[in-house]
């Protein structure tokens, strides 16, 4: 297949831009990139006319819980929301069917918004994997491990057993990368955090965890160990390059040096963190230190969206505001975080995250004909500050067209919307008791 008549933002190490560009891929691999003159070398390739759009690598949502879309708009302004509201709600409502429905709907939203890869942790993660495969995205998926009885665990830490089974089931899939996902330091004891770490080592899979997100988390480890959460995790030997840490808001300079030394990947989840009033992670400092920094939406009950365009704009604006410096986090750096940065954080940068020969054909075409897209003087700026998910025209994952002419080809999301309407009364009845 060949895509022509586009401006290609490669996001390679030089951030090369090719105007009137062409990208050629066979099956799932990019085989050529160049200007219009290379078209003659591929007379038998199917051609997609990009209509002067912008071609970018697919967005990588580095942290989410997509199934939680089933509870979007519930408890948005509730204090102490996680422990007082969310955990009880999940205990009463989350089952295999809710996760199957929620994950399908959430993955549809991501696909239509140009997300081609996402990292997810939740319960019944096998259902998330099946939904991911059905719709055709790429997923790094971890079963949540907690120290209490969970929707799919009849006893504390039973998620470890589920993880073991889940990894063996999906480890050889071309789109699914199974992971181990202890929820957070404060929801697992030292022994089980280490067990989760050793399982990830044994199976050679990623490990995903919330780290340094909550004030009470920081207080716990300072009171008990005189350490920050990052220092505590390092002291028990569970930080290394296979770790993807979500949030990392409550960190100091020593923590950042540890994260750099251990090559920990980071997901910056600006929208959910701002909405939850948790604070602003020092992402610009992380970026300048060369940490493996990606961008995530968090769950759609926390941030209310799975749209990376919204997060790119928020990162730029909030960091400029809190640093009182409009020059920081340039638009190209923001797009980097949402693409190749996420790939680095997930140790997938040799495979995805940029448009380069030999990499996977995970591509997003953003049309430039809509009223919000003109004039264009700076391609990066228009993507970060002007574009939105409605401008996503075509999405290709692993060489297959998932979205064409702004329509999702692999799932009817409207029928899923109707399923949510059927369970609305039951969900609201339970939510109103909390």
307-327 tens-digit pLDDT: 999 999 999 999 999 999 999
228-250 tens-digit pLDDT: 999 999 999 999 999 999 999 99
Between the CA atoms of 116, 268, 9 and 410, what dihedral angle is there, to the nearest 10 degrees? Answer: 10
Count of other CB atoms within 10 angstroms of residue 5: 17
Look at residue 431 and tell me whether its pLDDT is greater than 90.
no
Burial of 56 (C-beta count, 10 Å sphere; 0-12/13-18/19+): buried
pLDDT at 286: 98
| Comparison of pLDDT for 418 and 62, the residue scoring more | 62
Q: How far is it, in rounded angstroms, from Cα 397 to Cα 101?
A: 22
| Mean local confidence (pLDDT), 119-124 | 98
pLDDT at 56: 99
| Mean local confidence (pLDDT), 219-234 | 98
Concatenated DSSP letters of 53-66 = EEEEEPEEEEEE-G
Q: Helix 413-431 vs helix 96-112: angle between axes, to the nearest 10 degrees? A: 130
Between the CA atoms of 146, 151, 152 and 155, what dihedral angle is there, to the nearest 10 degrees? Answer: 50
47-69 tens-digit pLDDT: 999 999 999 999 999 999 999 99
Tokens matching residue 111: 């696909």
Look at residue 370 and tell me whether its pLDDT is greater than 90.
yes
Look at residue 347 and tell me whether its pLDDT is greater than 90.
yes
Rounded CA Rg of the chain: 21
Query: What percent of the chain is predicted at pLDDT more than 70?
Result: 100
Q: How far is it, in rounded angstroms, from Cα 20 to Cα 165?
A: 48
| Mean local confidence (pLDDT), 15-41 | 98
Look at residue 200 and tell me whether its pLDDT is greater than 90.
yes
Nearest of 146, 173, 178, 148 to residue 163 by alpha carbon? 178
Look at residue 82 and tell me whether its pLDDT is greater than 90.
no
Look at residue 209 and tell me whether its pLDDT is greater than 90.
yes
List of domains in the chain? 2-57+360-408 (2.30.40.10), 59-345 (3.20.20.140)
Look at residue 85 and tell me whether its pLDDT is greater than 90.
no
Look at residue 434 and tell me whether its pLDDT is greater than 90.
no
144 band by pLDDT with thresholds 50, 70 and 90? very high
Beta strand pairing status for 2-9 and 17-26?
A: antiparallel
Residue 150 DSSP label: B
Look at residue 348 and tell me whether its pLDDT is greater than 90.
yes
Helix, strand, or coil (residue 326): coil
Per the CB < 8 A criterion, the answer to whether 221 and 184 are in contact is no
Which segment of 1-15, 228-242, 386-400, 409-423 scores lowest on mean pLDDT? 409-423
| Mean local confidence (pLDDT), 77-93 | 87
Tokens matching residue 73: 């708009």
Sign of CA dihedral 400, 407, 115, 126: negative
Q: Please state, rounded to an integer, the average pLDDT across all residues of the chain.
A: 97
């Amino acid at each position: 297949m060949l895509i022509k008549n586009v401006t290609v933002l490669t996001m390679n190490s030089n951030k090369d831009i090719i105007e009137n560009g062409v990208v050629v891929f066979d099956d799932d691999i990019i085989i050529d990139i160049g200007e219009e003159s290379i078209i003659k070398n591929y007379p038998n390739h199917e051609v997609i006319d990009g209509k002067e759009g912008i071609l970018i690598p697919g967005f990588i949502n580095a942290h989410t819980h997509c199934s939680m879309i089933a509870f979007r708009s519930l408890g948005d302004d509730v204090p102490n929301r996680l422990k007082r509201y969310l955990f009880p709600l999940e205990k009463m409502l989350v089952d295999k069917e809710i996760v199957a429905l929620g994950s399908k709907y959430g993955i549809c939203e991501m696909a239509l918004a140009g997300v081609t890869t996402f990292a997810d942790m939740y319960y019944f993660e096998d259902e998330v994997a099946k939904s991911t495969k059905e719709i055709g995205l790429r997923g790094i998926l971890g079963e949540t491990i907690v120290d209490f009885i969970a929707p799919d665990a009849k006893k504390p830490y039973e998620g470890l057993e589920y993880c073991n089974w889940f990894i063996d089931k999906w480890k050889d899939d071309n789109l699914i990368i199974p992971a181990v996902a202890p929820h957070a330091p404060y929801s697992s004891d030292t022994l089980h955090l280490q067990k989760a770490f050793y399982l990830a080592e044994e199976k050679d899979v990623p490990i995903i965890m919330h780290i340094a997100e909550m004030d009470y988390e920081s207080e716990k480890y300072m009171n008990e160990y005189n350490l920050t959460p990052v220092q505590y995790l390092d002291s028990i030997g569970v930080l290394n390059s296979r770790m993807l840490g979500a949030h990392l808001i409550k960190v100091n300079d020593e923590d950042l040096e540890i994260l750099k030394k251990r090559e920990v990947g980071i997901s910056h989840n600006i929208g959910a963190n701002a909405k939850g009033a948790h604070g602003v992670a020092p992402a610009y400092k992380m970026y300048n230190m060369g940490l493996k920094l990606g961008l995530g939406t968090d769950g759609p009950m926390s941030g209310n969206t799975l749209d990376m365009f919204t997060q790119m704009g928020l990162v730029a604006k909030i960091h400029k505001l809190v640093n009182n410096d409009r020059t920081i986090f340039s638009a190209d750096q923001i797009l980097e975080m949402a693409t190749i940065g996420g790939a680095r954080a997930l140790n997938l940068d040799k495979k995805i995250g940029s448009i380069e020969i030999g990499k996977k054909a995970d591509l997003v075409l953003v049309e430039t004909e809509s009223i919000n897209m003109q004039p264009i003087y700076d391609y990066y700026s228009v993507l970060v500050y002007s574009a939105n998910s409605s401008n996503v025209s075509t999405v290709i994952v692993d060489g297959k067209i998932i979205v064409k002419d702004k329509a999702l080809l692999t799932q009817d999301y409207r029928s899923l919307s109707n399923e949510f309407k059927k369970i609305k009364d039951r969900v609201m009845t339970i939510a109103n008791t909390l």
